[in-house]
């Protein structure tokens, strides 16, 4: 029996693309294994968004080679397209495959022989929810970001193909579908069918439980999308916004396409028109040129608008990017201190938001695996509150259930499944 194994580092797009590869190998007679020592073919899908990602990618590759020197190790993903990651210098790798040719990996492994084609996924391994890629690439060239150099220009997938894929996943029992991409706000600009039109088409799928959007830039959140979030019972009341900074000087240095005023107006509108919406965000601290006042502007924004979750990234130099050549670098110790302060303020922001829902009903997608600390079944509400369910049963796993939030303890939110479900 031919065996294969997959390791994925990085974003939801990488995870989607690994699933497509997984189904390609399975459709052509391979058995997926979990033990690195048992795999005949090992595919490592890498990430290079930060130096930390480079390091993790290299550690995974070298560990597999050490444990299983007889395996064919195929390395793909963004670190392969970034010559400065040093991934391409690792000895013992059978094949390095650029992102452009990632979908051809099975054919390359199979020596170019005829194989059963797979162009849409039908499942999502080890996941309670499924990711669907709607576009790839980015044209923005933010000054800190290596991704346009590793993923190339933006391009949308065919809407009909996306609808077919989402339908497959819904019929397979997935209750939540997450639309993802490198820059999902671009979707449709090259085809004429925009993001809102795509969402409306997907919501007509009867078996769809709910739909969630992954990261989106502030300038791409328009009136039509806001109105859809307000009116739809299938589109989650949650937006993950790629903010990065709330200071005009830093945003300009980052080559972002908005300023502080646009950002504030957007957040005010969202809180006014959709008061229960959950807002999560990405922020970068320690960007070159970020002085104490710039950092204070970002802190004040987080303190003013209650975010349910914030992802904090400490700036990491990436060769090829414009910011790599910026001279006003922030000292490592200062970056660490700012990151800790951002974490503290973000945690307070999240608690304030969650407290508003004490005693209220939320719809929760129950995860298969229990919480590691409490051992309670848990899941996420449509507005992205993670709740621990005191009375959930095994038959609730993988389903969306109504629950009443009963209280908070620290950063943990407890709820009970409403009786009769």
Residues 176-220: pLDDT tens digits?
Answer: 999 999 999 999 999 998 999 999 999 999 999 999 999 999 999
CB 229, CB 237: distance < 8 Å? yes
Tens-digit pLDDT profile for residues 81-118: 999 999 999 999 999 999 999 999 999 998 877 677 78
- The predicted pLDDT at position 255 comes to 98
User: Nearest CA to 45 among 4, 82, 9, 99?
Assistant: 9
Q: What is the mean pLDDT of residues 278-290?
A: 98
Rounded Cα distance, 5 and 22, in Å: 8
* CA–centroid distance for 267 within its chain: 21
* The pLDDT of residue 49: 96
Tell me 325's DSSP state.
G
Instruction: State residue 167's pLDDT score.
Output: 97
- The whole-angstrom separation of Cα 66 and Cα 401 is 45
The candidate with the shortest Cα–Cα distance to 287, out of 302, 298, 303, is 298
Q: Provide φ and ψ at 285, rounded to 5°.
A: -115, 150
Distance CA 121, CA 127 (A): 13
Q: Among residues 268, 164, 174, 243, which one has the least CA distance to residue 212?
A: 174
* CB 338, CB 161: distance < 8 Å: no
Q: From CA 343, how far away is CA 348, in angstroms rounded? A: 9
- What is the chain's mean pLDDT, rounded? 96
Task: Summarize pLDDT for 38-66 with one digit per residue, the tens.
Answer: 999 999 999 999 999 999 999 999 999 99
Question: Tokens in use for 30?
Answer: 């391979």
pLDDT band, very low/low/confident/very high, at 411 (cuts 50, 70, 90) = confident
Say if residue 421's pLDDT is above 70.
no
CA gap 103, 354 in Å, rounded: 41
Return the closest-CA partner of residue 72 out of 38, 89, 95. 95
The pLDDT of 400-412, averaged and rounded, is 94
**Cα gap 328→290, rounded to integer Å:** 8
- Once rounded to an integer, what is the mean pLDDT over residues 282-307? 97
Domains defined along the chain, listed by start: 3-109 (3.40.50.2300), 130-355 (3.80.30.20), 361-417 (2.40.50)
Average pLDDT of span 334-360: 97
Q: From CA 154, how far away is CA 192, in angstroms rounded?
A: 14
Q: Rounded distance, CA 185 to CA 374, Å?
A: 38
> pLDDT category, 420, cuts 50, 70, 90?
low
- pLDDT tens for residues 144-171? 999 999 999 999 999 999 999 999 999 9
């Amino acid at each position: 029996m031919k065996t294969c194994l997959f390791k994925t580092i990085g974003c939801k797009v990488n995870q989607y693309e690994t699933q497509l590869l997984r189904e390609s190998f399975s459709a052509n007679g391979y058995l997926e294994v979990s033990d690195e020592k048992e795999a005949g073919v090992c595919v490592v899908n890498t990430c290079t968004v930060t130096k930390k990602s480079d390091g993790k990618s290299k550690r995974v590759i070298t560990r597999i080679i050490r444990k299983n020197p007889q395996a064919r190790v195929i390395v793909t993903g963004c670190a392969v397209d970034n010559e400065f990651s040093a991934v391409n210098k690792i000895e013992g790798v059978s094949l390095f495959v650029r992102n452009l040719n990632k979908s051809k990996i099975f054919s390359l492994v199979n020596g170019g022989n005829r194989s059963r084609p797979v162009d849409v996924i039908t499942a999502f391994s080890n996941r309670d929810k499924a990711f669907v890629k709607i576009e790839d690439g980015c044209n923005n060239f933010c000054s800190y970001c290596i991704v346009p150099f590793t993923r190339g220009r933006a391009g949308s997938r065919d809407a009909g193909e996306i609808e077919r894929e989402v339908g497959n996943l819904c019929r397979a029992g997935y209750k939540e579908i997450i639309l993802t991409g490198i820059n999902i706000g671009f979707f449709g600009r090259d085809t004429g069918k925009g993001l809102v039109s795509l969402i409306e088409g997907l919501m007509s799928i009867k078996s769809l439980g709910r739909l969630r959007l992954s990261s989106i830039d502030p300038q791409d959140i328009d009136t039509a999308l806001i109105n859809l979030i307000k009116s739809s019972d299938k589109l989650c009341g949650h937006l993950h916004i790629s903010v990065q900074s709330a200071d005009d000087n830093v945003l300009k240095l980052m080559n972002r396409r908005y300023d502080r005023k646009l950002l504030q107006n957007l957040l005010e509108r969202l809180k006014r028109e959709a008061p229960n919406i959950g807002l999560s965000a990405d922020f970068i601290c320690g960007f070159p040129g970020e002085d104490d006042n710039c950092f204070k502007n970002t802190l004040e924004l987080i303190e003013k608008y209650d975010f349910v979750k914030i992802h904090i990234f400490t700036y990491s130099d990436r060769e090829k990017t414009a910011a790599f050549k910026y001279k006003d670098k922030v000292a490592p110790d200062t970056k660490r201190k700012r990151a800790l302060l951002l974490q503290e303020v973000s945690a307070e922001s999240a608690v304030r938001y969650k407290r508003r829902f004490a005693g209220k009903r939320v719809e929760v997608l129950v995860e298969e695996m229990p919480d590691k600390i409490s051992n309670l079944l848990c899941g996420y509400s449509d507005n992205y509150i993670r709740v621990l369910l005191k009375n959930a049963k095994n038959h609730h796993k993988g389903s969306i259930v109504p629950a009443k939030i009963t209280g908070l303890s620290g950063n943990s939110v407890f709820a009970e499944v409403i009786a009769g479900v």
